Amino acid sequence: MTEDLLTPLDLAFWCLESPEHPMHLGALGVFAADSATAAQHAAELLAARSAAVSGLRIRIRAVWLPVGGAVREPAGDFSPQNHVHLAPATADFHGAAGRLMERPLARDRPPWEAHVLPHPDGTSFAVLFKFHHALADGLRALALAAGLMDPPPASPTTTAKEARRSEPAPEPTRGRRLPNLFDLPDAVRRHVGDAGRALDIGAAVVGANLVVRSSPALTARPTGTRRTAGVILDLDEVHHIRKTSGGTVNDVLLAVVAGALRRWLDERGDGSEGVAPRALIPVSRRRPRTSRPQGNQLSGYLIRLPVGDPDPLGRLRTVRTAMDRNKDAGTQRGAGAVALLADHVSPLGHRLGGPVVAQAARLLFDVLVTSVPLPSLGLKLAGCPLIEVYPFAPLAQGQSLAVAISTYRGHVHFGLVADGEAVPDLGRLARALQDEISELTEATAE
């Protein structure tokens, strides 16, 4: 593999990072262990298999041209021992995950890690994966992690190396060719259209920031600490609510988040009346077998979560209406499409402006709510089945909470990441999610 120039959005993620605000994705998988040595065996397998997955041997390096740019390139000195770590035994997987999520990834080697966390009783272990957002988006991170799992039973001869060969080959960006004169009219039209979309997005961002009330709990002063929590809901309950009230599974889950935030704010004494935090909902623009499997392909929707509405079904209707409006407008325009603006900034602009943009995140949205799809088939590591998986999203500067959601084998898994000092009661919010799905189920049964 040759050098591959980072796309503007990938470069933006690389430049937004600071020691207090690392820009890595995470996922905490919990496996049922069949022996006291299962965790150690899992760590050994992860180390051995990682050397055969090409995407895990890629580092990011700054280049002279374009000025401020960076490339992905193979790391000649790749060592699995720098990336796979066997941690001390712990019964508190989420406590350990929170402390590990605080630590930025090393920027001078492939930016990913896997931490194996044994349980003291030997009946389970967890693996925390961390991937820098400039290396992979959620779908790409999932593919990289899946390449380290056991091969499926249907293909016992399949290895991680063979899985790597099946990945679409990236097309390196070596430079810009001189334009064909006959292409210029089309090029001009494209640039004019891009400029128009950028203006639309900018105007929508300004409008989204007018007359909005959030909660100080969601935009507290950042401390750089991290805390994580996980919640599992029954997917059948979600489908029951969807079939009874209409909309999509995602609409129901967003309404659950809104209701849980209401409960949480009221219980901690902050109050939910009139609160309508802006939730950024990332939307993948990746197509299967695209030519650039590593690059982030993201846009998004922005909605105001109806936290202040006391009626659970009213909250669901509001969410459904807002999401329908976003879908009708598409992913190319609107305040949630801010990621597309990265294409209009030069590499040097990203390099110099990253710290400023990072500080502006709180002006764009109050909470991130993202969904990462998982395969329906059961995954195993060292022969041990994956029984729980909690995705974690990066926490933007000036924000206290990020929510990530994955559906796996009949259950919905919520992964919560929060500023450890601003949100010491993250467990209370996790319980509120469970209480909210129960209330919605009861409301739709009446």
Are 84 and 74 in contact, with CB atoms under 8 Å apart?
Answer: no
**How much is the pLDDT for 154?**
59
| Distance, CA of 30 to CA of 390 (rounded, Å) | 9
In the chain, the amino acid numbered 131 is F
3-state secondary structure the chain: CCCEECCHHHHHHHHHCECCECCEEEEEEEEECCCCCHHHHHHHHHHHHHCCCHHHHEEEEECCCCCCCEEEEECCCCCHHHCEEECCCCCCHHHHHHHHHHCCCCCCCCCEEEEEEECCCCCEEEEEEEEECCCCCHHHHHHHHHCCCCCCCCCCCCCHHHHHHCCCCCCCCCCCCCCCHHHHHHHHHHHHHHHHHHHHHHHHHHHHCCCCCCCHHHCCCCCCCEEEEEEEEEHHHHHHHHHHHCCCHHHHHHHHHHHHHHHHHHHCCCCCCCCCCEEEEEEECCCCCCCCCCCCCEEEEEEECCCCCCCHHHHHHHHHHHHHHHHHHCCCCCHHHHHHHHHHCCHHHHHHHHHHHHHCHHHHCCEEEEECCCCCCCCEECCEEEEEEEEECCCCCCCCEEEEEEEECCEEEEEEEEECCCCCCHHHHHHHHHHHHHHHHHHHHC
**How much is the pLDDT for 184?**
44
In the chain, the amino acid numbered 190 is R
Query: Could you say which residues of the chain have pLDDT below 50?
Result: 1, 155-184, 186-208, 210, 290-292, 335, 337
| Distance, CA of 63 to CA of 389 (rounded, Å) | 37
pTM: 0.85
Bridge partner list, 414 = 231, 405
Q: Token pair of 58, please?
A: 């890629």
Are 127 and 116 in contact, with CB atoms under 8 Å apart?
Answer: yes
Largest CA distance in the chain: 70
**How much is the pLDDT for 173?**
41
Bridge partner list, 132 = 24
pLDDT one-digit tens code per residue, 18-73: 888 899 999 999 999 989 999 999 999 999 999 999 999 999 999 988 888 999 99
